[in-house]
Amino acid sequence: MKRKKIVAGNWKMNTTKEEAEKLAASIVQSSQAFQGVEKIVFPPFPFLQAVKTIVNNTANFFVGAQNCNHHDKGAYTGEVSAAMLKSVGCDYVLIGHSERRQYFTEDNIQLLSKTEQALTNNLNVIFCFGEQLNERKNNQHFETVKKQLHGVLNFFPKNKTEQLVLAYEPVWAIGTGETATPAQAQEMHAFIRKTVAEIFSQEITEQISILYGGSCNAQNAPELFSCPDVDGGLIGGASLNADEFCKIIGSFG
């Protein structure tokens, strides 16, 4: 099986309902030529259903949530469960994004429970991880990434890896305008693939898409996506502009 090429847009805490609908409609319209690429958008919770309605009949186009709670249901005021997300048409959920780890102190125990909730409710998981700037400067980036991968994937059911996508997002590159060079991205993605082979198997690691995230844009995407172990991107800022996002979708050689 060939690995899926994926471009995913994380809209974070941006857009109103009207803006979200307009953005989704423009992306649907302008990305039609790129049938071979799986497109996923991650709008804020309140707009999931509205965006789902817009992308619904578009081939290879999915909607995901930026987070889910680690409990199945109950007295957790203000929280959103994986079952709720599935019921409004989500197919994906982001787990482990660095902003969740940093601002909401999500640790491996929570990430594991979230993953379990997602899988139980038939959601695909995009598991995000990546090193801090000081870790790269101290040459600890491989060690950090290995720990982050083992922390969750050691407990990820081997028979559900079809529901797993990985996103390497060096924290120093997120929202900073500083991107990993293609050489840095390829070096790390090859390391991730090797680590995943140790956790699961060579056959499984060859099938898992590994996305790059961190100030990816229409200029740098073609070179990044041409790296053999980079299977696409998780895009933040640039996903809020339909033209830019669709150029990124069209960046595979």
Q: Which residues are catalytic?
A: 97, 169
Q: Pick the binder of ligand PEP from 234, 242, 246, 248 (CB under 6 A).
A: 234
Site string for ligand PEP, 198-227 (x = CB under 6 A): ---------------xxxx-----------
* Residues 24 to 63 in contact with ligand PEP, rule: CB under 6 A: none
Contact stretch for ligand PEP (CB under 6 A) within 27-35, 135-143, 148-156, 235-243? 235-243
Residue 130 to residues 139, 151, 211: CA-CA distances in angstroms? 13, 13, 12
Binding of residue 104 to ligand PEP (CB under 6 A): no
CB 68 within 8 A of CB 79: no
Residue 232, classified by CB atoms within 10 Å of its CB into exposed (0-12), middle (13-18) or buried (19+), is buried
Binding of residue 170 to ligand PEP (CB under 6 A): no
User: In the complex with ligand PEP, which residue's Cβ is closer, 199 or 213?
Assistant: 213
- Scanning the structure block, which residue is given the tokens 């150029």? 247
CB 115 within 8 A of CB 78: no
Site string for ligand PEP, 119-158 (x = CB under 6 A): ----------------------------------------
| Tokens, residue 84 | 């709720």
Binding of residue 188 to ligand PEP (CB under 6 A): no
Binding of residue 232 to ligand PEP (CB under 6 A): no
- Rounded to whole angstroms, the Cα distance separating 34 from 23 reads 17
Return the sign of the alpha-carbon dihedral for residues 48, 51, 57, 62: negative
- How remote is the C-alpha of 188 from its chain's centroid? 16
Q: Pick the binder of ligand PEP from 175, 201, 202, 243 (CB under 6 A).
A: 175
Nearest residue to ligand PEP, using CB?
Answer: 236
For the chain, what percentages of helix, strand and coil (3-state, to nearest 5) are there? Answer: 45, 15, 40
The footprint of ligand PEP (CB under 6 A) covers 10, 169, 174-175, 213-216, 234-238
